[in-house]
Amino acid sequence: MPVVDPERVALVVRKLLSGGVVAIPTDTVYGVAALATRADAVRALAHLKGRAEDQPIAVLFDSGAALAPYLEQPEVLDRVMRFWPGPLTVVVRARPGCELARSVLTDAGTVGVRKPDDPIARMVIRACGGLLAVTSANRHGHSPATTAEAVAAEFGSGLLILDGGPRLGGVASTVVDLTVEPPRVLREGPISAEELGID
């Protein structure tokens, strides 16, 4: 794991816990993050990106135990746990009345979740209660940032950035809808339908 400044990590976590938006490294690119349970924070994240508030933002998590209370049927994740951490996003039903911000949910009450294969990202996520709303660190329509310097160039000095070194970029995660039977691949990515056992 790249060396990160513990004081900087603590500052980033405090900012997130207070409802702020920050940039963190993930296993693919840099992402802008906010507490997934704070509607105001997720709205601020969407505003920073320049994207519509009704366009759901994925939730990155550190452990199934942290995520389970927010899901209607957490046991469905057992089908894909072997692919995590890694480049797989699954769409599942959120538990009605859960504390997830409306902006991370679809109109149908589903949410996209992923466990990133990056120790820095998961350390920050864990320190913030186990899940964060995260989307790529770029303004809507621009290329995702793969370095802290690129994030700063995109958003300016007002955004708190945790520098974890350059990211590799790469292919966006495979997205699978687990709310239907059989599950349906919504976006092809590094993990194939065949590997997932989906026809």
Instruction: Report pLDDT digits (tens) over 123-141.
Output: 999 999 999 999 999 998 8
Is there a domain that residue 78 lies in? Answer: yes
> What is the extent of the structural domain holding 125?
6-140+163-191
Residue 60's CATH number: 3.90.870.10
Helix (H, G, I), strand (E, B) or coil at 7: helix
pLDDT score recorded for residue 199:
62
Is there a domain that residue 153 lies in? Answer: no
Show the tokens assigned to 180: 């239907």
Looking at this protein, which amino acid is placed at residue 82? R
Tell me: pLDDT of 196 over 70.
yes
Give the mean pLDDT of 150-161.
95
- C-alpha separations of 110 from 102, 125, 149, 186 in Å: 10, 21, 34, 14
Is there a domain that residue 117 lies in? Answer: yes
Whether pTM exceeds 0.85:
yes
Helix (H) or strand (E) run with residue 8 in it: helix 6-17
Angle made by CA atoms 172, 48, 63, in degrees to the nearest 5: 50
Helix (H, G, I), strand (E, B) or coil at 52: coil
Q: Rounded mean pLDDT of the chain?
A: 93
- CA separation for the pair 90, 181 (Å, rounded): 14
Question: What is the number of other CB atoms lying within 10 angstroms of the CB of residue 89?
Answer: 20
**Number of domains making up the chain:** 1
190: Cα within 13 Å, side-chain hemisphere: 14
Strands 110-114 and 131-136: unpaired
Tell me: pLDDT of 1 over 70.
no
Is there a domain that residue 47 lies in? Answer: yes
Tell me: pLDDT of 84 over 80.
yes
Instruction: Report pLDDT digits (tens) over 56-75.
Output: 999 999 999 999 999 999 99
Among 28-42, 50-64, 110-124, whose mean pLDDT is lowest?
50-64
Contact 147, 167 (CB under 8 A): yes
Is there a domain that residue 146 lies in? Answer: no
Helix (H, G, I), strand (E, B) or coil at 10: helix
Is there a domain that residue 87 lies in? Answer: yes
Name the one residue in this structure whose structure tokens are 């320190």: 127
pLDDT band at residue 198 using 50, 70 and 90 as cut-offs? confident
- CA separation for the pair 95, 104 (Å, rounded): 13
pLDDT band at residue 90 using 50, 70 and 90 as cut-offs? very high
Is there a domain that residue 147 lies in? Answer: no
Give the mean pLDDT of 13-27.
97
